[in-house]
Amino acid sequence: MNSSDIVFMFVSTSFVMFMIIGLALFYGGLVRARNILSIIAQCMICIGLVTIIWILYGYSLVFGSDVFGFIGNLDFLFLKNVGQDAGPHADNIPHILFCMFQLMFAAITPALITGAFAERMKFKAFILFTFLWSTFVYFPIAHWVWGGGWIGTHGGLDFAGGTVIHINSAVAALAGAIAVGKRKGWPVEQIKPHNLGVTFLGAGILWLGWFGFNSGSALAANGVAMNAFFVTQIAASASALSWMAVEWKIHGKPTVLGLASGAVAGLVAITPASGFVSAFPALLIGLVAGVVCFYAVGLKARFKYDDSLDVVAIHGVGGLWGALATGLFASLEVNPSGADGLFYGNPSLFVIQLADNAAVIVYSMIVSLIIFKIVDLLIGLKVSPEEENAGLDISLHGEKAYN
């Protein structure tokens, strides 16, 4: 046990918790005024529901002893053997602290998906979806990468969740946008963000929280953690500027939403790489993320899926770029327990990253589509046109954000 590590992980865990609040504001400002509370409610469900299933069986399925590389066993069911002493995954901090840090990742991931079907999904359907998706998609994939499953053991790198969290949630988001269907009027009617100040506040909270998200993934207050801290700042800044620049060039104005979106895209892209790459690769990762994600936003109009808040473009494309960039720029000099990437003489890491992420995309897409189908059959996914017109805040939650 190391008390500096304990303090550091306590702070990091709290930061990740606060990210979910930031996400609610980031998304909340982007929807119309009549739907902001529905976003907040969905984020709260992710915190509440995932916390409960995590302590019941989720933690065990992710971090219990490996079964066939696919899932954890039931060693930690109902938190059995999870106490104040160190656990098998981190010998420097209490097992319960490790458990809680990992819980925050499990809770924020379904919250990220909500952006894809914002402003139209039934609340009951969302609750059932979150329960099923966490159980059958998030827990297995988190186990594959971090819990002793096949991706982690054969050398795939994902420092803080580019694959587990961002790509995974974005694939489910694409499935959700398709399964739930378009918002009424999209893309013909003008559906505009109602409060970009709130969105910026949310982006700022996300940025701050991301320091805990990435640095905390080192699981100790050490140099690798501070490397993650440093490169997180660099990538987010670079991406904010590059998104703004390309938007300015194409549309004639540098928008604040562009700056905020670019920052988030950079944060996403650096996530898997943050413990493995140094400052200048991080700069490049950020610069590319802002441009690539900006263009990726245009995909939904071309392919006619209403990914309302661009989860696919920012978390999917940004996450995929970050995962592949990890295969390019990872360096043993930064982290001896990582690997060298293609530009450091080891092309095999790039191939591993490509294959792992392809597998995650396929698994997440198939199982997410099945889950949406089941929820559709049991409850129905989409609210009625009348409810959608009135806004989910009043029709589902019986309250309005603004009176």
Partner 1 sequence: MKKIEAVIKPFKLDDVKEALNEIGIQGMTVSEVKGYGRQKGHKEIYRGAEYVVDFVPKVKIEIALKSDRVEEAVKIIREAAKTDNIGDGKIFVSPLEKVVRVRTGETDEDAL
- Where on the chain is the footprint of partner 1 (CB under 8 A)? 190, 192-193, 247, 250-253, 255, 257-258, 261, 294, 297-298, 301, 310
Residue 112 or 224 with smaller CB distance to partner 1 = 112
251 contact partners, CB below 8 Å, separation of at least 6: none
- Taking the CA atoms of residue 140, residue 144, residue 150 and residue 151 in that order, the dihedral angle to the nearest 10 degrees is 140
Residue 71 or 265 with smaller CB distance to partner 1 = 265
Alpha carbon distance 281, 291 (integer Å): 16
342 contact partners, CB below 8 Å, separation of at least 6: 327, 328, 349, 350
Residue 253 or 386 with smaller CB distance to partner 1 = 253
**Smallest gap from residue 76 Cβ to partner 1 (A):** 42
Residue 88 or 193 with smaller CB distance to partner 1 = 193
Q: Which tokens hold the place of 27? A: 């998304």
Print burial letters for 94-118: b (CB count within 10 Å at least 16), e (below 16): bbbbbbbbbbbbbbbbbbbbbbbbb
Return phi, psi of residue 111, to 5°: -65, -35
Sign of the Cα torsion 41, 42, 47, 49 reads: positive
Gyration radius from the chain CA atoms = 20
**Smallest gap from residue 357 Cβ to partner 1 (A):** 25
Sign of the Cα torsion 19, 22, 24, 27 reads: negative
Residue with tokens 């984020």: 43
Residue 132 or 201 with smaller CB distance to partner 1 = 201
Strands (E), 43-198: 66-67, 71-72, 86-87, 90-94
Q: What is the largest CA-CA distance in the chain?
A: 61
Residue 68 or 253 with smaller CB distance to partner 1 = 253
Are 94 and 86 spatial neighbours (Cβ–Cβ below 8 Å)? yes
**Smallest gap from residue 253 Cβ to partner 1 (A):** 6
Burial of 75 (0-12, 13-18, 19+ CB in 10 A): middle
**Smallest gap from residue 170 Cβ to partner 1 (A):** 16
Residue 193 or 204 with smaller CB distance to partner 1 = 193
Determine how β-strand 66-67 pairs with β-strand 71-72.
Answer: antiparallel
**Smallest gap from residue 167 Cβ to partner 1 (A):** 20
**Smallest gap from residue 96 Cβ to partner 1 (A):** 41
Residue 146 or 186 with smaller CB distance to partner 1 = 186
**Smallest gap from residue 299 Cβ to partner 1 (A):** 11
Residue 119 or 356 with smaller CB distance to partner 1 = 119
Give bridge partners of residue 382 from the DSSP assignment.
121
**Smallest gap from residue 268 Cβ to partner 1 (A):** 15
Burial of 162 (0-12, 13-18, 19+ CB in 10 A): buried
**Smallest gap from residue 258 Cβ to partner 1 (A):** 7
Residue 188 or 377 with smaller CB distance to partner 1 = 188
Q: Which tokens hold the place of 23? A: 């996400």
**Smallest gap from residue 289 Cβ to partner 1 (A):** 15
280 contact partners, CB below 8 Å, separation of at least 6: none
Residue 35 or 217 with smaller CB distance to partner 1 = 35
**Smallest gap from residue 303 Cβ to partner 1 (A):** 15
